[in-house]
Amino acid sequence: MVAYSNTNKLKIATKYPIQTQNYLSANYMKLYEIISTKGAVESAPQTGIADIIVDISSTGTTIRENNLKILDDGYILFSEATLISNPVTLSNYKDKFNSAKKLLQFILGYINSQIYNTIIFNIAAPDENELFRRLNNYKTIKGIIGPTISKVYSNDELNWYAVTIVVSNDDLNDAIEVLNEILAEGITVIQNKLVFDKALDLNNLLKE
């Protein structure tokens, strides 16, 4: 249960007053006041408008940025977006099928972007082939298909190459450790916006 005072009403800011009311009633909460807001509800505790908030959270970034904490017993519901299609419409109208296919491609591209990271780094090596063999000795820095290696025209006497690899979240920490071990320089991790997977058969996914 969420703790509250026996003497003062707990002020709760939310964009979802009905769901909040139902949740509080189901948990026998009585001394509270729901403050309905359409603005940035996450700032309500800092401005003194409310004591706690009820809001939608996906990654938790906004919560952390506003120095808030999710209560362990405070989850009202879990939800997910669902794409629902009409197979008859998609079969009979090519333009609608193509639109749905493009939408599905971007949805899957976003989902994949949450799984993979792009790592860019510089490393010295005698030549591209030797560097490829060296990278290929480590599972976590092989890349999904393989590394992209390009020559860096530096001012020092070393033979530098710039390498780009795509690494899964599960392998990210190990990959950074390996790169430090093999003396990689300028290691940069980029969060992908979209990652498209050509191996997925979107036509069949829409027809299923």
Nearest to 2 by CA among 74, 102, 100, 94: 74
Burial class (CB in 10 A: 0-12, 13-18, 19+), 53: buried
**Which CA distances in Å does 37 have to 43, 75, 84, 106, 137?**
11, 19, 31, 32, 56
* 134/207 same-domain check: yes
User: What is the Cα–Cα distance from 137 to 184, expressed in whole angstroms?
Assistant: 15
According to the model, what pLDDT value does residue 189 have?
A: 95
Domain extent at residue 61: 10-65
* 21/110 same-domain check: no
CATH number for the domain spanning 163: value is 3.30.70.120
* 134/177 same-domain check: yes
CATH number for the domain spanning 54: value is 3.40.190.10
pTM over 0.85: no
User: What is the Cα–Cα distance from 4 to 32, expressed in whole angstroms?
Assistant: 8
Q: pLDDT tens per residue, the chain (208 residues)?
A: 344 445 578 899 999 999 999 999 988 888 899 998 887 888 888 888 899 999 988 777 788 888 888 888 888 888 888 888 888 898 899 999 999 999 999 999 998 898 999 999 999 999 999 999 999 999 999 888 889 999 999 888 889 999 999 999 999 999 999 999 999 999 999 989 988 887 778 878 777 6
Q: Domains in the chain: how many in total?
A: 2
According to the model, what pLDDT value does residue 7 have?
A: 53
Residue 148 near residue 165, CB atoms below 8 Å: yes
User: What is the Cα–Cα distance from 62 to 43, expressed in whole angstroms?
Assistant: 10
